Amino acid sequence: MGDSHTKSSTNWLEEPELPSAEEILSSSSPLLLPIQNESITSKSEYLEKHYRMQRYEAVEPTRLAVSEFRQAPDMPERDLAYVYTDVHVQGIVLTAQGAATRVSFATDRAAATPIDWANPSRLQQGSLVVLSPVADHFKSKCYVATVAYRFLAGGLLPDLDADPPEPENTPSRVDLFFSTWGGELLDPNITFYMLEAKDGYFESVRHTMVALRTAAFEKYVATPSLT
């Protein structure tokens, strides 16, 4: 990797909010810019440096989880990530925020089963997840998404009160917003792995990144003190 103090070549104001597949599949950490006041020469540079740090905190846990999993796709859940297997696209559902993709999945890699889905440590709304076909296991393919909606009965758990009740062995389901679409995401016959980093909560960092970019366009934002 190059000098960690080298300025990024990408325009931070034009970057999509969700990380790209290239960011997640990278074998090295992204460039970080120093935030020492004496090195800051403009408001734009000040905001970009803080944006880069926030983006690093949002993306790096997932990148590390993918890097570990890529080396050992048969591994059980460890410290870095929740591992979901037998992931299949069920179809498209409409939500208040737009069209989402419903996927089913298994949790056979979990250290403790059954999963206590009432405890929102997994698959919180806004959490970042990444999927890859089993045959590829994140070697070259990665689909980035956030959790659109987290619901228990009829989602993470079978709906036993439905008419007729869902079977108790009904797989868990969750709705996702994908950053990009591909033919594989429309094929219910393809089996994916899905990973969710245990560290960090993407949605909270995402709001901070949006605020920093908004500030860059505001004319009357106070210039940071450089002393």
Residue in 148, 147, 169, 150 with CA at minimum distance from that of residue 158: 169
Higher-pLDDT residue of 43, 129: 129
Omega within 30 of 0 (cis) for the link into 114? yes
Q: What is the pLDDT of residue 134?
A: 98
pLDDT tens for 2-29 read: 333 344 446 877 777 888 999 999 988 8
Instruction: Characterise 193 by phi-psi region: left (phi > 0), alpha (psi -120 to 50), beta (else).
Output: beta
Q: 107-154: per-residue pLDDT in tens?
A: 999 987 789 999 878 999 989 999 999 999 999 999 999 999 889 999
Looking at residue 3, its pLDDT comes to 35
pLDDT score at 39: 61
DSSP letter string, 130-174:
EEEETTTTTSS--EEEEEEE--TBTTTB--TTSSSPPPTTPPEEE
Predicted confidence at residue 1, as pLDDT, reads: 36
Confidence of residue 220 (pLDDT cuts 50, 70, 90): very low
Q: What does the pLDDT look like over 168-210, one tens digit per residue?
A: 999 999 999 998 877 889 899 999 999 999 987 777 777 667 7
pLDDT value, residue 119: 84
**Where residue 40 falls among pLDDT bands split at 50, 70, 90?**
low
pTM of the shown model: 0.84
Q: Say if residue 90's pLDDT is above 50.
A: yes
Lookup: tokens for 74: 């048969």
pLDDT at 120: 79
- 48 SS3 class: helix
Bigger pLDDT: 54 or 159?
Answer: 159
CB 85 within 8 A of CB 196: no
Determine the pLDDT at residue 225: 52
Judged by DSSP in three states, 217 sits in coil
pLDDT at 4: 37
pLDDT confidence of 164, banded at 50, 70, 90?
Answer: very high
Q: Find all residues with CB under 8 Å of 207, minimum gap 6, and list them.
A: none
The pLDDT of residue 181:
77
Domains recognised in the chain with CATH numbers: 76-199 (2.40.30)
pLDDT at residue 50, as a whole number: 76
User: In whole numbers, what is the pLDDT of the chain averaged over residues?
Assistant: 84
